[in-house]
Amino acid sequence: MEAKLFFQETTVVVFVLGGPGSGKGTQCPKIVEHFGFTHLCAGDLLQAEIESESENGTMIHNFKKEGKIVPSEITVKLLQQAMQQSDNKRFIIDGFPRNEENRAAFENIVKIKPEFVLFFDCPEEELTRRILNRNQGRVDDNIETIGKRLKVYFESTLPVINYYNSKGKVQKIDAQRSVDEVFEDVKSVFAKFKPVARVDSTK
């Protein structure tokens, strides 16, 4: 019990939110490199669980196959497990919570409130343009599916951002600019976390 409490008290969690195409995937590795956070992505954890072919993984696979959303409790427990197995105590959680149910489940199960929410703010037209230009060969990168993904984001994730904004916990970044300009703002938001000293592994 004490170990768990210690884990909660010393752990720093930052939620990274923004629409598809807002640059979360580009900025998160930079935060990891400069400030020593561990990057957790709910989607990646779910995928890894599916690939492990565990009982849980099969259940997640079936939810996805049927086009259903994976229950928040399952996603949150995977995040909690990844955090407890890590030697690090600083985490950025990318693209989560996606909706109010996710948010409530995280606070109820993990019992950690985020230090702040890093919100990459970008207008819908710009998000659409970026996703179409990505040419990553993703099946979901066509105009109709992009519209659906953006609709889910605006209807489900924006209320989460607004909730944390009402608590004074949102750090909003103008994500329309270049990668480097955006990261300059990100650095000032993370300034209280000392940059990581680079270790020369060749010595």
Binding residues for CMP: 102
Q: Are 141 and 134 in contact (CB under 8 A)?
A: yes
What is the total residue count of the chain? 203
Tokens of 54: 């565990």
Run of H or E including 1: none
Q: What share of the chain is helix, strand, coil (3-state, %, to 5)?
A: 55, 15, 30
Binding residues for ATP: 21-26, 134, 177
N-to-C CA span, the chain: 40
Binding residues: 21-26, 68-70, 95-98, 102, 134, 138, 149, 177
Binding residues for a ribonucleoside 5'-phosphate: 68-70, 95-98, 138, 149
